[in-house]
Structure 1
């Protein structure tokens, strides 16, 4: 069964990761098992040159997994260089969590919390040129007149109350 998913979106440098850290910590403290999925529009490396896992992948392994008692990590090469769909990724890796929080995926139909900082961007992604009906709330460092709930950018508890009410009860 697929978990509920909420995506945190904003322009780069606005504080998406910082807010996600706070949301994950708060939801975990409330007893939920939380998954996190970050979208990266660029090529990224979690392996480092010379490490065993990097060497195995470089040698041609399509999938390389490193596992220990504390955690596991996987590198999977997309032979056709096509990113799996969001649905495929969720179905494959997140069936054991109560909720999945994503960073990015601003063009998806997922429910979204937009992070807004006045000095980074004056208008909102989800209420600017596009009116995204999936916008759930905004976390901002300034007052805004919106058609969705507005939270202080540091109010992780309030945002988690909203997430619990909408998706976890």
Structure 2
């Protein structure tokens, strides 16, 4: 089974997380199980000093999982970021769709966000032509070879995802 996924890409400060929050809500209202992967080019830490999980990873655990009746969290050390395809197949077989934030260099289908006050150029239709671009969500008028969605209409973006990937 192939996991269905689409990546939201944009320049920093365009509103990827804000739009994703709204789109997730719309898809959940429609009954879909939604997974999310956030790409972080920097180091992050969900393990905090003083917590047992932090003590266990600090002691040398290569993989540490904390589980409760409501959720689980996995901390797994690795030398390099695993390919997104590996993450999807390993952790997301139980969802209808995975929305990712980032991964602009991947071959996954992409929706690029464009906020005109932030930038008039596109990542996927600028100097490079990314064939995996399936739509652009913008607050401006653009003439493109892919659908242009209203950046400020999360329901429209959810409709597009539902039609393109879930039906």
Range class of TM-score, shorter chain: over 0.9
1:83 aligned residue (71, 81, 84): 81
Which whole-Å CA distance do the structure 1 matches of 2:8 and 2:33 have between them?
A: 18
1:110 aligns to what? 108
Task: Show the counterpart of 1:145.
Answer: 143
Moved over 2 A (4+): none
Farther-moved stretch of structure 1 (156-165 vs 96-105) = 156-165
Query: CA RMSD, aligned part only?
Result: 1.0
Match of 1:9 in 2: 9
| Kept after mapping to 1: 8 A contact 2:9/2:102 | yes
1:161 Cα offset (Å): 1.5
Tell me the residue number matched to 2:26: 26
- C-alpha contact 1:2 1:94 (8 A) present in aligned 2: no
Match of 1:51 in 2: 51
Give yes or no for contact 2:6–2:98 (8 Å, CA) kept in 1.
yes
Q: 1:2: Cα distance to partner?
A: 2.5
Does the CA-based 8 Å contact 2:9-2:101 persist in structure 1? Answer: yes
Separation in structure 1 between the aligned mates of residue 133 and residue 118 of structure 2, nearest angstrom: 19
The offset of 1:119, in angstroms, is 2.1
Partner of 2:92: 94
Contact 1:38 1:102 (C-alpha < 8 Å) held by counterparts: yes
SS of 2:90's equivalent in the other structure is helix
Deviation string, structure 1 residues 92-111 (Cα, Å, up to 9, x no partner): 10010000100000011111
Higher mean alpha-carbon deviation, 158-167 vs 14-23, is at 158-167
TM-score in terms of structure 1 length: 0.95
Query: In structure 1, how many angstroms separate the alpha carbons of the residues matched to 2:67 and 2:118?
Result: 39
Aligned length: 167
Q: TM-score, normalised by structure 2?
A: 0.96
Deviations 1:119-162 (A, max 9, x none): 22220001111111111111112111211111111211111211
